[in-house]
Amino acid sequence: MQPLPSNWETWDADRLEAEVRGHNARYWDDAAPTISDYDYDRLVERLKAVNPNAAVLQAMGPSDATRAGNAVTHQNPMLSLDKAYDEDALLKWADKFEGLLVMTPKIDGVACSIRYDATGHLVVAATRGNGITGEDITANVMRIANVPTQIEAGQALEVRGEVYLPMARFRELEGQFANPRNTAAGALKQKDPDKSAQVGLRFFLYDVYGVEFDTEIHKFEWAAAHGFSPVEHELVRRDQVQEGYERYVARRADLDFEIDGVVFKADDLDEQRRLGATAHHPRYAIAYKLQGDSAPTILEDVEWSVSRNGVLTPVGIVAPVKLSGAVVTRISLANWGLVKAKGLSLGAEVVAMRRGGVIPYLEAVVKPGDREIHPPSNCPACDSPAEVDGDFVRCTSGGDCGAQRIGVLSHFAKALEIEGFGEIWLTTLVSAGVLHDPVDFFALKAERLTQFDRMGETLANKLVAEVEKVKAGVPLATFLKALGVPGLGKTASGTLAAHYRTLEAVRAATPEQVVALPKFGELLAAQVLEGLAAKADLIDRLLAVGVVVQPDETPADAGPTDGPLNGQSFLFTATLAAMKRGDAQDRVKALGGEAAAGVSKKLTYLVVGAEGKAGSKLTKAEKMGVKVLQEDEFIALLEAAEAEA
């Protein structure tokens, strides 16, 4: 990303509007922004101050929403969010309404609308576009693992949320893409749904249209009950907003998704309707934005690291620069393709960016350098010839490379949670010929290990004990992931294990069978099965040394639990004083009952919490003759059922 010029605050309204319009096109149309979100917001805020009626402020979105696919007109406009950058601005906004606020992370992904017809079938999905018209992405959204293609029949409805790439999956892709958001945007535009599915996108729901609710929290409860993944959410008071925001900032590196702020909404929908919306944003919601973590620096050198799959990855050595409170001297350059695409050269002035838990990476080239960068002709670890394969440079040793061995062993040990085998010890043991592949872990003897410097008897015995503990029983999904087969990460391993149950059944599966499983397309199924076939000798040798692979015992169809509350359904309204609503629902389910999503004639009980107001659910339940339980009555019923169970 390029920093704003030093004189940008002197620009007049026309220049500011032209700059915002240009950056809109680069962000929305091209998915290739040239300034950080923070700097973009600074431009917008400056334009609001200079000319609050500028036309571009009412048109945040692509200049041509139909360019990349069929156009979809939104039934309700997909508005932007107003922004705050400090606690005073946030509290000033919150003073405009009564009641609690809902706090959610602002996911840095792609906003998406999904519609279902009255039979519960997913019929269309679209990007936000310009807020009025978006792009049809139905085929690709239907391949996202946590987007249900069929929900309970009822009425036609629409859900909205953010399509994103989990950070764990982004890291599994081993530097093939520049950042998670652009990867998600590119995958949604992919013409081949199988290729889109292989990227591993996920969906967080944050809104529902077409179903009657009285609070935001009830939307999330409905979403969870219908198979969606609601975005993280929490009810907070006004005096908790800053503390809540700071908790997300502190957790940022540990989240499995990128965020660029925290969203606050009025929880009460009556208050939302009273506040209404402008043509640009709803008045009942606001985004408390994070500050940008980018800075210019100089690319001084490039080093090449070797992955466990033999890909040589460029790492930029830069002049020290402070990002997110830490001094950075190394940045990811993703792959050889990025180096070429950016026209990168040594001595170049670049912008380094740090987002969440991802290592700092190259965001943009501000000024070219004076020395060309060439791909290495030999592997820096084993000196085998290196060859350029499209966007990648690969070691040609065929796996007979110390760095690759260390990577394979490290992945295996981490997947199986074998403690104590860090990079230093793995390097030592590989160099000494003690470890060559994962089978060698199970041949380690304490007396052999104590021959190495700084390896005492206590540590040696501990390492051997760690290996023996794992050997006694490895869950099938964990074993599959530990093999290091391309494409066989946590999610795919879990799917195979849950479906086939045993290692023997997984190894006997055919491509035609695997491609029918959730999350698998033809290419991924073929890649995984070919990878497992290539690991056949390793698998056989692991079994031969006594590694026990435990069958998966997840119920094939986890239906209702048997218990005293079988056939009874419970719906909650108002705030429970004795426990969280989610805990109450879990206790009901554990006793065989059902946590209902809404009021109907089939509902057994409406439970009214002791705190807050009951809202419209109580009125509906009374009209329909549904039995109403006060919180103390519910707890008495629950405790009696638990005693019976």
pLDDT of res. 64: 43
From CA 488, how far away is CA 477, in angstroms rounded?
10
CATH number of the domain bearing residue 145: 3.30.470.30
Q: State the DSSP H helix or E strand holding residue 236, giving kind and residue range, or none if neither.
A: strand 234-236
Residues 199 and 259 occupy one common structural domain: yes
The answer to the question of residue 562 being in a domain is no
Closest residue by Cα to residue 199 from 462, 524, 511: 524
The answer to the question of residue 365 being in a domain is yes
Residue 35 in contact with residue 2, Cβ under 8 Å?
Answer: yes
Q: DSSP string of 452-501?
A: STT--HHHHHHHHHHHHHHHT-EEHHHHHHHTT-TT--HHHHHHHHHHH-
From CA 177, how far away is CA 188, in angstroms rounded?
14
Kindly tell me if the per-residue pLDDT of 51 is higher than 60.
Answer: yes
CATH number of the domain bearing residue 20: 1.10.287.610
DSSP one-letter code for 29: I
Which regions of 368-417 does DSSP assign to beta strands (E)?
Answer: 371-372, 386-389, 392-395
For residue 50, the cross-strand partners are none
Residues 111 and 223 occupy one common structural domain: yes
pLDDT of res. 311: 92
Kindly tell me if the per-residue pLDDT of 258 is higher than 70.
Answer: yes
The answer to the question of residue 558 being in a domain is no
Which regions of 11-129 does DSSP assign to beta strands (E)?
Answer: 71-73, 82-84, 101-107, 110-116, 122-127
Of the pLDDT bands very low, low, confident and very high (cuts 50, 70, 90), residue 23 is confident
Q: Count structural domains, the chain.
A: 6
Residues 80 and 193 occupy one common structural domain: yes
How do residues 608-626 score in pLDDT, each as one tens digit? 987 766 777 888 888 888 8
Per the model's pLDDT, the better-predicted residue between 592 and 556 turns out to be 592
What backbone torsions phi and psi does residue 92 show, to the nearest 5 degrees? -60, -40
From CA 236, how far away is CA 403, in angstroms rounded?
49
Residue 349 in contact with residue 367, Cβ under 8 Å?
Answer: yes
Q: DSSP string of 317-336?
A: EEEEEEETTEEEEEEE---H
Residue 145 in contact with residue 198, Cβ under 8 Å?
Answer: no
CATH number of the domain bearing residue 581: 3.40.50.10190
How do residues 129-152 score in pLDDT, each as one tens digit? 888 899 999 999 999 999 999 999
Here the tokens at position 126 are 């679209």
Residues 406 and 386 occupy one common structural domain: no
Closest residue by Cα to residue 16 from 60, 58, 57, 64: 57
The answer to the question of residue 635 being in a domain is yes
How do residues 297-355 score in pLDDT, each as one tens digit? 999 999 999 988 899 999 999 999 888 667 889 998 988 988 998 889 999 998 887 65
Q: State the DSSP H helix or E strand holding residue 204, giving kind and residue range, or none if neither.
A: strand 202-209
Here the tokens at position 496 are 């195979």
The answer to the question of residue 63 being in a domain is no
Determine the average pLDDT of the residues in 501-524. 86
How many other C-beta atoms lie within 10 A of the C-beta of residue 321?
Answer: 20
From CA 322, how far away is CA 327, in angstroms rounded?
4
Last residue of a domain, one of 289, 309, 325: 289
Per the model's pLDDT, the better-predicted residue between 491 and 450 turns out to be 450
> Residues with catalytic annotation?
106
The answer to the question of residue 79 being in a domain is yes
Of the pLDDT bands very low, low, confident and very high (cuts 50, 70, 90), residue 273 is very high
Residues 353 and 435 occupy one common structural domain: no
How do residues 454-472 score in pLDDT, each as one tens digit? 899 999 999 999 999 988 8
Of the pLDDT bands very low, low, confident and very high (cuts 50, 70, 90), residue 18 is confident
Here the tokens at position 572 are 């909650």
The answer to the question of residue 372 being in a domain is yes
Residue 563 in contact with residue 586, Cβ under 8 Å?
Answer: no
Residue 588 in contact with residue 625, Cβ under 8 Å?
Answer: no
From CA 207, how far away is CA 202, in angstroms rounded?
16
Residues 240 and 118 occupy one common structural domain: yes
Domain extent, residue 31, equals 8-58
Residues 93 and 224 occupy one common structural domain: yes
Residue 336 in contact with residue 391, Cβ under 8 Å?
Answer: yes
Closest residue by Cα to residue 13 from 47, 63, 62, 61: 47
Last residue of a domain, one of 491, 517, 550: 550
pLDDT of res. 332: 87
Kindly tell me if the per-residue pLDDT of 561 is higher than 80.
Answer: no
Residues 120 and 216 occupy one common structural domain: yes
Residues 299 and 425 occupy one common structural domain: no
Radius of gyration of the chain (CA): 28
pLDDT of res. 34: 77
Residues 315 and 231 occupy one common structural domain: no
Determine the average pLDDT of the residues in 11-26. 86
Per the model's pLDDT, the better-predicted residue between 444 and 494 turns out to be 444
How do residues 83-125 score in pLDDT, each as one tens digit? 887 788 899 999 999 899 999 999 999 999 999 999 999 999 9
CATH number of the domain bearing residue 440: 1.10.150.20
Q: Sort strands 569-573 and 594-595 into parallel, antiparallel or unpaired.
A: parallel
Torsion of CA 362, 363, 366, 372, to 10 degrees: 30
From CA 370, how far away is CA 346, in angstroms rounded?
6
Determine the average pLDDT of the residues in 584-588. 82
What backbone torsions phi and psi does residue 121 show, to the nearest 5 degrees? -85, 140
For residue 124, the cross-strand partners are 115
Kindly tell me if the per-residue pLDDT of 427 is higher than 60.
Answer: yes
3-state secondary structure of 612: coil
Amino acid at 226: H
pLDDT of res. 66: 39
Return the percentage of the chain with pLDDT > 70, whole number.
91
pLDDT of res. 58: 65
Mean pLDDT of all residues belonging to the chain: 86
Last residue of a domain, one of 352, 371, 395: 395
The answer to the question of residue 189 being in a domain is yes
Residues 299 and 257 occupy one common structural domain: no
Determine the average pLDDT of the residues in 597-606. 83
Amino acid at 612: G
Residues 408 and 484 occupy one common structural domain: no
Q: Which residue has the tokens 């001094």?
A: 327
